[in-house]
Amino acid sequence: MTLTADQTAEIAAARAQSAATARPTVPALEAMLYTAIPVLDHGFVRVIDYMGDDSAIVQAARVSYGRGTKRVQEDAGLIRYLMRHRHSTPFEMCEIKYHVKLPIFVARQWIRHRTANVNEYSARYSILDREFYIPAPEHLAAQSVSNRQGRGDVLGGEDAARVLDILRDDAMRTYDHYAEMLNEDETGAPRDPDRPGLARELARMNLTLNTYTQWYWKTDLHNLLHFLSLRADAHAQYEIRVYAEEMLKTVDAWVPLAAQAFRDYRLGAVTLSAQMLAVVQRMLGGEAVAQPDSGLNRREWNELMGVLGRDA
């Protein structure tokens, strides 16, 4: 990750400010405010603002006066009950805002989570930086033969080197053409006064999807946890999963009781269909159940056996 001197100074200035407030604050998250957490080669995620804490969840569920009306153990128990039984509205009382720098192709996957407020850096008005995501060699993999959305074996040797060369060359070439079409220097003045520059909103269309963009992304805790349940999952694409993993660390600092309940009941849990549960019950009853007489298709059977740690 690279930050300009201006960006570093801006972060330092923001962190140096403090203000008295009567609202709940979380020291662990306060310590992380504004700081850029590196992700991928040039990306980052940082917390800009937040509202609420674990007590806000409890307060909303009890509709109680003030805070700290119950013991921490009771608060944890209530939060775990709410998470376990999918009572979502108390978690919506907490909100958080992130500043994220990410490759465009990751942003297009991320934006499918429509339960957030988003404001993205606009290449209609500003010039994008010459920064591109180039995967580390260990993350270059062939297409999976069993999963159309996944990766297979890692590429090696000349194959990997050739792919990396193509990614770098294409990104640099298209950015050079982008800059040529703009015909602008860092101040916005024409590089060649005798040649008109193409409109920024048109010049941008030539850029590769590994070009970095930025946005502010604000959401409530309920929808953030839904995002994390999908994107911090081991099956999620690596390039978005690493962002989700860093964001989960901020949730651990912000609402530790809710974060632990989320890890227990969502991230580290599985959902069984009625048919799968029936199979488990038959097995517990001592019956030797095989896939043909289980009522499950082969894929469902393999998934259940994987969950149970048994050979399919």
Domain check: are 1 and 78 in the same one? yes
Residues 279-291: what's their mean pLDDT? 96
Query: What pLDDT is recorded for position 194?
Result: 86
**CA gap 161, 181 in Å, rounded:** 30
The domain in which residue 56 lies consists of 1-127+211-269
Rounded to the nearest angstrom, the gap between the alpha carbon of residue 75 and the centroid of all alpha carbons in its chain is 28
Q: What is the mean pLDDT of residues 75-99?
A: 95
Residue 120 in 3-state DSSP? Answer: strand
How far is the C-alpha of 310 from the C-alpha of 291, rounded, in Å? 13
Measured distance between the N- and C-terminal CA atoms of the chain, rounded to whole angstroms = 43
Note the pLDDT of residue 256: 97
Are 17 and 41 members of one domain?
yes
- Please tell me the distance from the alpha carbon of residue 36 to that of residue 32, in angstroms, as a whole number: 9
Domain boundary among 163, 191, 209: 209
**Tokens 């990104």 belong to residue:** 171
**Mean pLDDT for all residues in the chain:** 91
Q: Are 23 and 99 in the same domain?
A: yes
- Where b means 16+ CB within 10 Å and e means fewer, 59-91 reads bbbeeeeeeeebeeeebbebbbebbeeebeebb
As given in the structure block, the two tokens for residue 216 are 């502010």
> Is residue 153 located within the same domain as residue 86?
no
Structural domains counted in the chain:
3
Q: Is the same domain home to 188 and 100?
A: no
- Judge if 116 and 144 occupy the same domain: no
244 shares its domain with 304: no
pLDDT value at position 141?
A: 83
Task: Check residue 65 and give its pLDDT.
Answer: 59
Statement to judge: residues 167 and 200 lie in one domain? yes
The enclosing domain of 262 has a CATH number of 3.30.1360.170
Q: What value does the mean pLDDT take over residues 76-83?
A: 95
Least confident of 55-69, 88-102, 217-231: 55-69
Both 151 and 201 in one domain: the answer is yes
Residues 169-201 have pLDDT tens digits of 999 999 999 999 999 887 778 888 889 999 999
Which whole number is the average pLDDT over 47-62?
95
Which pLDDT does position 188 carry in this prediction? 78
Give the integer Cα–Cα distance in Å for 196 and 188. 12
Q: Does residue 84 have an active-site annotation? A: no
User: What is d(CA 278, CA 80) in angstroms, rounded to the nearest whole number?
Assistant: 26
When pLDDT is averaged across residues 51-73 and rounded to a whole number, the result is 80
Q: Are residues 265 and 286 in the same domain?
A: no
Q: Note the pLDDT tens digit of each residue in 153-165.
A: 788 888 889 999 9
pLDDT for the residue numbered 67: 58
- If asked whether residues 218 and 204 sit together in one domain, one would say no
Has residue 8 got a pLDDT over 70? yes
Supply the pLDDT for residue 7.
83
Active-site residue identified among 200, 231, 263, 299: 231
Q: d(Cα 274, Cα 236) in Å, to the nearest integer?
A: 26
Task: Say what the pLDDT of residue 293 is.
Answer: 95
Which is more confident, 158 or 108?
A: 108
Buried b (16+ CB within 10 A) or exposed e, 160-197: beeebeebeeebeeebeebbebbbbeeeeeeeeeeeeb
Regarding whether 195 and 76 lie in a shared domain, the answer is: no
pLDDT, tens digit, 9 for 90 and up, residues 225-269:
999 999 999 889 999 999 999 999 999 999 999 999 999 999 989
Residues of the chain above pLDDT 90, percent = 73
